[in-house]
Amino acid sequence: MLDATFIFVWPTLAGPMDGPAIRVRDVKRTYESRKGFFFQEKVRTEALRGVDLEVARGELFGLLGPNGAGKTTLVKVLSTLLLPTSGSVEVLGIDVAKDPRRVRPRIGLVLGGERGLYNRISARENLRYFSDLYGVPPSQQGRRIDEVLATVGLTEAADRRVEEFSRGMKQKLHLARGILHEPELLFLDEPTIGLDPKSAREMRKLIRSLVAKGVTVLLTSHYMFEAEELCHRVAVLSRGRIVARDTVQGLRRLVGGDRTMEVEGYGFDDAELRALKALPGVSRVVTEEFGPRQRLTLRIRSMDLTTGEVAGLLRAHRGLEVKERRTTLEDVYLDLVEEEAS
């Protein structure tokens, strides 16, 4: 899964004196909205409930979490669109609450979805408009627009109206818009949402190429394999709190093992589940039902336990299947989110 051409450059390029790209301390963000008859009822949603986070310069950092976890809220706070209710947020060494205007020219933001582009005009005209908005000097606009169109692979389509664009092309144009002013730090909220596998792969390649040029990227995703493929470090956000933050490898160790075994069969009983849990090296057993069939997922710490031993313990079962695979980030994520919920 890991793309061999991608080499993560641990951010030493900028030097230790420059400090991290992002430093978030105990950030809370509450939304107040109204609902009910004549919107009289006040509703408070604590979207962020004390987030601490540090992202180094040059890093490609992934923020994962289920729907409603607070990912977009955090991205908006970091990119000066929303003020935190409390806590401190420094981006490129600048306090975003005190000095958002100094932050904005140095960051890029790409929020997913269809909004934010003008459909009736061409890609190039869109980029020209945003160049003005972002203060790209007029003398440099033509060159810069050509550059970003080439970067995202839209040179051929540059003069077509955006309404004719596919979703993947629109997403590329969003990215082009986000990097027009050569930001040092780029926020990408679900950059591959709704893209087909090929377009998603192209988008990931683009993201890697930006990081290779020294841009720091913080991206959010629901797709665990995407974070696994792209990011060196990830944080898992659940209900407004970071429940884990580590390298993909580190997260695997945290939830108890690099190895996962899947056992499928009928009618496993509690005694058998207890016996499996008691096997040396087994850190976790999760049971799922598929109609009459059950699947047991075993997280395994030791290298010694074999699928044969597990099968031996359950040999009374007909139609038993025991397979081994590598623990994916998705497993890790589900374990973490489940632990948080229980």
Ligand X SMILES: Nc1ncnc2c1ncn2[C@@H]1O[C@H](COP(=O)(O)OP(=O)(O)OP(=O)(O)O)[C@@H](O)[C@H]1O
Enumerate residues 6+ apart whose C-beta is below 8 A from 239.
49, 68, 69, 70, 340
Q: List the one residue from 12, 33, 140, 247 that touches ligand X (CB under 6 A).
A: 33
Note whether 44 binds ligand X by CB under 6 A. Answer: no
Whether residue 51 contacts residue 239, with contact meaning beta carbons closer than 8 Å, is answered with no
As measured in angstroms, the least distance from the Cβ of 297 to ligand X is 24
Beta strands in the chain (DSSP E): 22-35, 41-55, 60-64, 86-91, 94-95, 107-111, 185-189, 216-221, 233-238, 241-247, 259-266, 282-290, 293-300, 321-326
> What single letter denotes the amino acid at residue 236?
V
Q: Per rule CB under 6 A, is residue 47 in the interface with ligand X? A: yes
From 50, 68, 105, 113, residue interacting with ligand X (rule: CB under 6 A): 68
Neighbours of 28 (CB within 10 A): 16
How far apart are CB 95 and ligand X at their closest, in Å? Answer: 22
Which lies closer to ligand X via its Cβ, residue 77 or residue 107? 77
Distance of CA 320 to the CA centre of its chain: 36
Q: How far is CA 11 from the centre of its chain?
A: 19
166 binds, among Mg ion, ligand X, none (CB under 5 to 8 A by kind): none
Give whichever of 81 and 97 is closer to ligand X, judged by the CB atom.
81
Question: Least distance from C-beta 330 to ligand X, angstroms?
Answer: 15
Considering only residues 49 to 78 of the shown chain, the ones binding Mg ion according to CB under 5 A are 71-72
Label each residue of 17-29 as H, E or C: HHCCCEEEEEEEE
In the complex, what is the shortest distance from the CB of residue 43 to ligand X, in angstroms, rounded to a whole number? 7
Cα–Cα dist 165/338, whole Å: 40
Task: Identify the burial level of 96 via C-beta atoms within 10 angstroms of its C-beta, where 0-12 means exposed, 13-18 middle and 19 or more buried.
Answer: buried
* Closer of 58 and 112 to Mg ion (Cβ): 112
Residue 39 in contact with ligand X, rule: CB under 6 A: no
Angle between helices 167-179 and 197-212 (to 10 degrees): 10
Query: Using CB atoms within 10 A of its CB, is residue 283 exposed (0-12), middle (13-18) or buried (19+)?
Result: middle
Look at residue 192 and give the partner it binds from Mg ion, ligand X, none, a contact being a CB closer than 5 to 8 Å depending on partner kind. none
Binding site partner of 69, from ligand X, Mg ion, none, Cβ cut-off 5-8 A by kind: ligand X
Q: Which stretch binds ligand X (CB under 6 A): 69-77, 243-251, 280-288, 324-332?
A: 69-77
Least distance in angstroms from the C-beta of 33 to ligand X: 4
Helix (H), strand (E), coil (C) string for 303-318: CCCCHHHHHHHCCCCC
Q: Determine if 221 is a binding residue for Mg ion (CB under 5 A).
A: no
Q: Which stretch binds ligand X (CB under 6 A): 66-74, 103-111, 128-136, 199-207?
A: 66-74
218 binds ligand X (CB under 6 A): no
Would you count residue 45 as binding ligand X (CB under 6 A)?
A: yes
Q: Nearest to residue 21, comparing CAs of 63, 48, 64, 61?
A: 61
Among 20, 62, 65, 84, binds ligand X (CB under 6 A): 65
Sign of CA dihedral 102, 183, 221, 171: positive
Site string for ligand X, 71-110 (x = CB under 6 A): xxx-------------------------------------
Residue 135, phi then psi, degrees to nearest 5: 75, 25
Q: How far is the CB of 144 from Mg ion (least distance, A)?
A: 29
Shortest approach of ligand X to residue 246 CB, angstroms? 19
Interface contacts to Mg ion, rule CB under 5 A: 71-72
Interface contacts to ligand X, rule CB under 6 A: 31, 33, 45, 47, 65, 67-73
